[in-house]
Amino acid sequence: MEKMNTLFRKVMAIVFLSMTVMPVLAQTTLTFTGKDANGQPVQLDSVRVSNLSRGWTEVLYASDLTLTMTNSGVEQHDLQPVLSQNVPNPFNGITDFSVQLKKSGMVNIAIFTLKGEKVAHLSQNLGAGCHTYRIQLSKPQTYLLNVQIGKESSSIKMVNTGNAGVDRIHYVGNRDWETGLLKSGRGSTDELFVLGDTLSFIGFSTIAGAVCTSMTVTKQILSSQTIELQFTEADVFVCGTSLVFDYDGNVYNTVQMGTQCWMRENMKTTHFADGTEIPAPYAWPYEYTPARFENMDPDIFGYLYNMAAAKHFADKEDSVMVQGVCPNGWHLPNESEWDMMLNYVSSNSQYHCNGNAANTAKALGATQYWMSASEQCAVGHDLATNNLTGFTILPSGEIELHNGQCTNFWTASYAGLTPNGAYYKAHTLELMYFQSSLEHGTESHNDMLSVRCLRNY
């Protein structure tokens, strides 16, 4: 008890000092403009800002392309964890935060009430990088979150307004140090910034109907300034080499399948493209949950979404290019568009297993994570020979099946009602570890499945 009280007093001292003795800090403001190869203005859709010295990333959108950063004026100790403010804050029972570590070590995370009561605790050995956590709290009040590694610690205040039914800290996953985690899409950031930090900037613009990426600008920031982002003809989107970014800043590779351009990874965003948050698992009407794989990593397997999230409540009837959870310029493919991709694969003999045009699962499936199967043309057989197409289907599972058994994809195509008339259904594409081809099926709107996106045409 004495040890806990000592820790709480230290946390309170840090918070008190941050509120009372720190001076008013100056701000650095960055604005952004786009230019083409001829020096003509280019309208920016968004700008991705990465602080390479601190390991965070923000994404700005056309509505506000000015970034204001508060200068901390102090350097942090090499081992001090960089703790982001939880998002959202205030929050309705559930919130997320990230902590960035420069070295591996035992990390102790504790949540206190302002009276000093410890309500949740988690200790983990973590490697260097950016780590994501989800907090669930049951009582509406103000809390203190403390993260400690070795003798160094960081703390923030959090305001809970709801009841999640449990007091818990849950580890979500790890993100690469340079890509960061929390993306605000707004014109200011609460992330740590010190004059002299090195930042990189990438602009995105729609040119001649294609999403284009600017040349990367990397520079040391010593004052407020305007950053000019250059676009060239080579920046036009090229499927198979160009990257795609969602609202959260996640990066997706692309793959050309005949005349279609597909994402090579499953969606893993927690926001729609317009910035609307998709609530945490089991919140109605939208919901997502980590992919069903032991020791899952959403960065690898993506998230599972219910139909409302996958389609962003688009009309239940099949319609043209339902954007759904996909980024701007991309959409949730309908059943016919999936069939077009499958027909392309089956029409090319190099993708056949044992010379059979129906056996194409191995050419589409990833070379890792699938459960082992004995059938020679099953996706789970001899994984090293999989993925000739580069489409990289992973066994992301669904609610009932996981651990390498299957994957199931939503389509945008409406499939009527369940037999009791209670639920809408949609057409799906499923692949089990023992199957040699993707199978058509239907699922009700409350099932949780993966999403692959197709580029608009």
pLDDT, tens digit (0-9, with 9 covering 90-100), for 107-122:
889 999 988 889 999 8
Of 21-35, 128-142, 190-204, 385-399, where does the model show the most confidence? 385-399
- Say whether pLDDT at 348 is over 50: yes
User: Taking residues 9-23, what's their average pLDDT?
Assistant: 47
In single-letter form, the type of residue at position 223 comes to: S
Do 378 and 358 contact (CB within 8 A), yes or no? no
Mind listing the pLDDT tens digit for each residue in 262-280?
A: 999 999 998 888 878 887 6
Of 169-183, 212-226, 312-326, 366-380, where does the model show the most confidence? 366-380
- Residue 79 — very low, low, confident or very high, per pLDDT cuts 50/70/90? low
pLDDT value of residue 351: 96
pLDDT value of residue 318: 59
Cis before 90? omega within 30: yes
pLDDT value of residue 152: 80
Residue, of 285 and 127, whose pLDDT is higher: 127
- Say whether pLDDT at 241 is over 80: yes
pLDDT value of residue 13: 52
Pull the structure tokens for residue 447. 């099932």
Its pTM stands at 0.56
pLDDT value of residue 285: 62
- Say whether pLDDT at 331 is over 60: yes
- Say whether pLDDT at 176 is over 50: no
One-letter-per-residue 3-state SS of the chain: CHHHHHHHHHHHHHHHHHHHCCCCCCEEEEEEEEECCCCCEECCCEEEEEECCCCEEEEEECCECEEEEEECCCCCCCCCCEECCCECCCECCEEEEEEEECCCEEEEEEEEECCCCEEEEEEEEECCEEEEEEEECCCCCEEEEEEEECCEEEEEEEEECCCCCCCEEEEEEEECCCCCCCCCCCCEEEEEECCCCEEEEEEEEEECCEEEECCCEEEECCCCEEEEEECCHHHCCCCCCCCEECCCCCEECEEEECCEEEECCCCCCCECCCCCECCCCCCCCCCEEECCCCCCCHHHHCEEECHHHHHCCCCCCCCCCECCCCCCCEEECCHHHHHHHHHHHHCCHHHCECCECCCCHHHHECCCCCCCCCCCCCCCCCHHHCCCCCCCECCCECCCCCCCCEEEEEEEEEEEECCCCCCEEEEEEEEECCCCCCEEEEEECCCCEECCCEECC
Alpha carbon dihedral 314, 344, 404, 243, in 10-degree steps, equals -70
Do 123 and 150 contact (CB within 8 A), yes or no? no
pLDDT value of residue 2: 54
pLDDT value of residue 181: 30
d(CA 229, CA 219): 12
- Residue 75 — very low, low, confident or very high, per pLDDT cuts 50/70/90? very low
Pairing outcome for strands 66-71 and 188-193? parallel
User: Taking residues 353-379, what's their average pLDDT?
Assistant: 94
pLDDT value of residue 187: 59
pLDDT value of residue 23: 42
CA neighbor of 137 nearest in space, from 115, 116, 118, 154? 118
d(CA 235, CA 212): 5
- Residue 371 — very low, low, confident or very high, per pLDDT cuts 50/70/90? very high
Cis before 419? omega within 30: no
d(CA 322, CA 73): 47
Instruction: Give the chain's domains with CATH numbers.
Output: 2-23+75-175 (2.60.40.2550), 27-74+183-234 (2.60.40), 244-455 (no CATH)
117 CB-contact burial (10 Å; exposed 0-12 / middle 13-18 / buried 19+): exposed
- Residue 343 — very low, low, confident or very high, per pLDDT cuts 50/70/90? very high
User: Taking residues 407-424, what's their average pLDDT?
Assistant: 82
- Say whether pLDDT at 422 is over 70: no
Residue, of 390 and 423, whose pLDDT is higher: 390
How many other C-beta atoms lie within 10 A of the C-beta of residue 243?
A: 11
> What percent of the chain is modeled with pLDDT above 70?
80
User: Taking residues 320-342, what's their average pLDDT?
Assistant: 91
Averaged pLDDT of the chain: 81
